[in-house]
Amino acid sequence: MHIPDGFLSGPVWLGLDALSVPAVGYVARLAQRDFEENHVPLLGVMGAFVFAAQMINFPVGAGTSAHLVGGALLAVLLGPAAASVVMTAILVIQAFVFQDGGVLALGANVANMALAGVLAGYLPYHLLGGGRLRKPAIFLGGALSVLASAALALAELSASRVAIPKGMLALSAGLFAINAVAEGAITVAVVSGIEALSPRLAPRRRAARDWAPGMLAATAMLLATVGALFASATPDAIENLTRPGGSAADWFERAAGVVIVFAACVLIARAFSRRRAA
């Protein structure tokens, strides 16, 4: 779900751009440490690979098909920092070359899919990917990454007071849930396929040594996602927040809420990457 320009209100797109630009700069520096400039071709080609893989349809029953989103898959295969950079590059190309997603809204789309989506896709794998629970962890990662991105996009749209009928919200929450299950299943199937084809390309994680911070982050992510979905499905509680009109102070509060959530995501990501580097 790529948000075009013109949908998000000033504070929302400005806040998310202000947050995404430094966050992407930071993630790019991390990725550069793991993959020196020599390996830029690998990340670029991986972006092209995800683009192309999105053209391959998966039958999901009832005559409909789904396609890969890719954030969780890249996080498992390349690590979270590189995956964020590749997903950001994909969003940039989609916005500028394919008119898919806005340019001012790029900050929001990057935050939803390249930062939060990749992080949510990576966390379960980081925690459980080493042991017997590897496949369930990858499945959970795929599902969570789609849910997190979708929930954040819906939250941003309603924070921008874009009218969405209640029935539509419930329907789209259901559709996102189906997509999430499909993404999890696709990610597991593709990782298994790559393992069978050439094991050296599918790195195996050792079990995480320290559980507490990861567990905390995963729980926070899960709560945020589920919370946002519930809030979108039963908008009575947030109706107050999204009512038309409102003073400058209200606007400031709404923007501040969104910024705080993303700041938390970025801080968690920082803590994680430091752990990885150590």
Partner 1 sequence: MHHVVLESWSRQNSALHARDPRVKIVLLAAYLAALGTAARMPALTTLCYAAPLAAAAGMARLPARALLLRTAVVLPFSATFAAFSMMAGDAGRGEALLAKSYLSAAAVLVVTATTPLPKLLWGFEALGFPRFLILVVQFLYRYLFVISGQAQHMRLAARCRGSASGRLGFRRAAGAIAVLFARSYARAEGIHDAMLARGAAGQIRLLAGARAGGRDFAFLAFGIAVIAAVRIWSL
Interaction residues for partner 1, span 40-99 (CB under 8 A): 40-49, 51-53, 55-61, 68, 77, 85-86, 88-90, 92-93, 95-99
List the structure tokens of 59. 């039958």
The least CB distance from residue 96 to partner 1, in Å, is: 5
Among 144, 151, 190, 268, binds partner 1 (CB under 8 A): 190
Pick the closer one to partner 1 by CB: 77 or 128. Answer: 77
Does position 189 interact with partner 1 (CB under 8 A)? The reply is yes
In whole angstroms, give the CA distance from residue 269 to residue 278: 14
Site for partner 1 in 217-276 (CB under 8 A): 244
Residue carrying structure tokens 């998966």: 58
Strands (E), 35-149: 58-59, 65-66
Give 3-state DSSP helix, strand, coil % of the chain, rounded to 5: 75, 0, 25
Give ∠ CA 157-93-41 in degrees, rounded to 5. Answer: 135
Which H or E element spans position 274? Answer: helix 248-277
The least CB distance from residue 159 to partner 1, in Å, is: 14
Pick the closer one to partner 1 by CB: 36 or 236. Answer: 36
Pick the closer one to partner 1 by CB: 40 or 226. Answer: 40
- Cβ atoms of 150 and 169 within 8 Å: the answer is no
Buried b (16+ CB within 10 A) or exposed e, 35-69: beeeeeeebeebbeebeeeeeeeeebeeeeebbbb
Among 168, 226, 256, 277, binds partner 1 (CB under 8 A): 168
Pick the closer one to partner 1 by CB: 164 or 208. Answer: 164
Which H or E element spans position 66? Answer: strand 65-66
| DSSP SS3 for 59 | strand
Which H or E element spans position 88? Answer: helix 80-97
Site for partner 1 in 117-156 (CB under 8 A): none
Taking CB under 8 A as the binding criterion, the range among 24-32, 147-155, 216-224, 264-272 that sits at the site for partner 1 is: 24-32
The least CB distance from residue 110 to partner 1, in Å, is: 10
In whole angstroms, give the CA distance from residue 18 to residue 114: 15
Give ∠ CA 173-179-181 in degrees, rounded to 5. Answer: 105
Residue carrying structure tokens 């929930």: 151
Among 15, 16, 19, 24, binds partner 1 (CB under 8 A): 24
Among 133, 162, 261, 263, binds partner 1 (CB under 8 A): 162
Pick the closer one to partner 1 by CB: 10 or 131. Answer: 10
Taking CB under 8 A as the binding criterion, the range among 140-148, 164-172, 210-218, 245-253 that sits at the site for partner 1 is: 164-172
Pick the closer one to partner 1 by CB: 223 or 239. Answer: 239
Pick the closer one to partner 1 by CB: 174 or 227. Answer: 174
Pick the closer one to partner 1 by CB: 187 or 224. Answer: 187
Does position 36 interact with partner 1 (CB under 8 A)? The reply is yes
List the structure tokens of 98. 């394919």
Size of the site for partner 1 (CB under 8 A): 72
* Among 123, 151, 142, CA closest to 225: 151
